[in-house]
Amino acid sequence: MSTQIRTVGFIGLGIMGGPMAARLVRAGFDVVGHNRSPARQEALVSAGGRGAASPAEAAAEADAVITMLPDSPDVEAVLLGAGGVFAAARPGTLVIDMSTIRPDVAWTVAADGGRRGLRVLDAPVSGGEAGAIDGTLSIMVGGSADDFEAARPLLAAMGQTIVHVGPAGSGQTVKAANQLIVAGTIELVAEAIVFLEASGVPTGPALEVLSGGLAGNRILDRKAAGMVARQFTPGFRAELHDKDLGIVLAAARSAGVIMPVGATVGQLMRSLKSQGLGGLDHTALLRIVEQLSGRPEPE
């Protein structure tokens, strides 16, 4: 079977998928994109890609199909549904789901695709919109080693750290762990910032010295200044992180693993959503710390 990939179907051209598809165009692939809302599709056409009226149309002539959709039901509908990718794709087509979804759904989808002669990978990403634009995403890939190697030229156009982490579903399990660590770290940085402010210690020098010691981490480096300034424009929406923490906690339950801190952070992220703040960046967890501490938002 040829591993030469020329035509790529790309379904889901949102905050992440739009710039990822544009990078594939710039790398020389013939990209046929489909998105539910047409404006996103027009942006791809302006960038040099082509538009498709449905997932099936995007898949029909593709050597590889990539999906970048919000949640598990969206991926199931687009891949498995009537008029979906699996029914239209030619045998041997690589199908790479880069959305963040449940590991068990990724596994089921891969098994279904395998029965149809398709080569399915789960390849969720970390690195945010900036990483999608710059092509510096971390990509964690589950599936067979051969299919991973076949997909590498595509993934290399979108990411920098690209690792095969295990069989089908493993990419999503690693992504769930990623989201647990990121949410927990944001919560601790938020608690530290509110604590420093309440204690009357200027946050600038405090965060500088913290960054250089064992407490140093990328949330401190990249996000703390925005948190101090109360800039919560997404970025990564709290409602998507709420979805991801639901995935982590369900998968942990299946694995028989207890996550007391993960469960608490899941509740705090859910509180943002239930207060109608799910459209803010996930660093708005700081707002919850302020509320719980009885501290009013700064002017």
141 binds ligand NAD (CB under 6 A): no
CB of 69 to ligand NAD, least distance (A): 5
15 binds ligand NAD (CB under 6 A): yes
Task: Closer to ligand NAD by CB, 43 or 263: give it.
Answer: 43
Residue from 175, 223, 243, 273 carrying the catalytic annotation: 175
The DSSP secondary structure of the chain, one letter per residue, reads: ------EEEEE--STTHHHHHHHHHHTT-EEEEE-SSHHHHHHHHHTT-EE-SSHHHHHHT-SEEEE--SSHHHHHHHHHSTT-HHHHSPTT-EEEE-S---HHHHHHHHHHHHHTT-EEEE--EESHHHHHHHT-EEEEEES-HHHHHHHHHHHHHHEEEEEEEESTTHHHHHHHHHHHHHHHHHHHHHHHHHHHHHTT--HHHHHHHHHHSTT--HHHHHHHHHHHTT----SSBHHHHHHHHHHHHHHHHHHT---HHHHHHHHHHHHHHHTT-TTSBGGGHHHHHHHHTT-PPP-
66 binds ligand NAD (CB under 6 A): no
Task: Closer to ligand NAD by CB, 16 or 59: give it.
Answer: 16
Q: Which of 68, 192, 227, 269 binds ligand NAD (CB under 6 A)?
A: 68
Asked if 273 is an active-site residue, the reply is no
Q: x/- binding map, residues 229-268, to ligand NAD, per CB under 6 A? A: -------x---x----------------------------
Q: Which of 42, 50, 61, 70 binds ligand NAD (CB under 6 A)?
A: 70
99 binds ligand NAD (CB under 6 A): yes
40 binds ligand NAD (CB under 6 A): yes
CB of 41 to ligand NAD, least distance (A): 9
35 binds ligand NAD (CB under 6 A): yes
Active site residues: 175
| Chain contacts with ligand NAD (rule: CB under 6 A) | 11-17, 34-37, 40, 68-70, 74, 77-78, 99-100, 125-126, 128-129, 236, 240
